[in-house]
Copies of this chain bind each other. A is one copy, B any other.
Amino acid sequence: MIGALSASVVKHGWRSVRSGGLPFFFAVLMTALGMFSLTAFGTVLWNFRALARAVGESVAAVAFLKVDDAAAAEETRARIQLTPGVESATLMTPEEALQRARRGLSGSAALQASAGLTMPWVVEVVPRFSLEDGESARLELVQRIGALDGVDEVLHPGGELKRIDALLRLLHGAGLFLAVLIVLVVVVVVSNAVRLTVLVRKDEIAIQKLVGASDAFVALPLLLSGVVQGTLGAVIALVTSGIAHASLARVVRVALSGALGTFTLDPLPWWILACVIVGGALLGAVGALLSVARFLRTSS
């Protein structure tokens, strides 16, 4: 009896998928679009953190040491390395520092005088980059390093960092806003699509009720079709974004790699993809549940 009933539920679910016609494909399409946007955005966000890290690391601070020999310099470097908030600290000999200064001190007018220049030992400090830390955290780090034994002075490229920071913040903010919008749209679209399926099938449901169908008998196929809608949408979205990724990744790499070192657009990890599919199914189920519940209440 239970077996036959559930077979019949599956059959009716499949029929409602088949006969759902336009609203069904509409729902699948919309779910796919929404999920695709989410995935695409997720990929950007995912890689955005990598991007942010790359940008952050390329903006190093420089500590000038007041030491005389390599051993003392190495000791100071080690001490800087251990300071909280420091990602890495690299030692440069005075010669290397002078080379660097000669080579690429862009934005500086001091090159003119560099012929008669002498340099101290220098440590290049890469701060641990995080978007959440404000300007003050960074200043504090500079002061902390400056207070260390053997460190003469610390310079850090405030202006440049601030500017990139602001851009990254903007990206992040706009991104969150977009994400919320997309999730809202997907929920509304899917639940409405299922409601439309119910609307289109309302004659059939009315007759089922007349011949004595229980609420479960009516609701389960609709729920099933909602889940199928959501899952199908999610799968299509993943396939599409896979294709998009394959074709776009090269473009993005070529466009960005010059400036920021090798930058690759990684695909999302498998567990996020799994979440997208489960999320699609859930969205479909919730949408179906909402509209079916409302429908059962109003019809008798």
A residues near B, CB below 8 A? 22-23, 26, 29-30, 33, 36-37, 40, 44, 51, 55, 58, 62, 64, 97, 100-101, 104-114, 116-120, 122, 153, 155-160, 162-171, 173-174, 177-178, 181, 184-185, 188-189, 192, 195-196, 199-200, 252, 255-256, 258-260
**A interface: dominant SS:** helix
Output the least CB separation between A161 and chain B (Å): 9
- Cβ–Cβ contact B107 & A101, under 8 A: no
Residue among A33, A109, A116, A252 with max Cβ neighbours from chain B (10 Å): A109
| B107/A155 in contact, CB under 8 A | yes
Cβ contact within 8 Å between A108 and B101: yes
List chain B residues, Cβ under 8 A from A164: 163-164, 167
In the complex, are the beta carbons of A116 and B119 less than 8 A apart?
A: no
Stoichiometry, copies per complex: 2
- The CA-CA distance from A166 to B159 in the complex, in Å, is 18
Q: Does the CB pair A256–B109 fall under 8 Å?
A: no
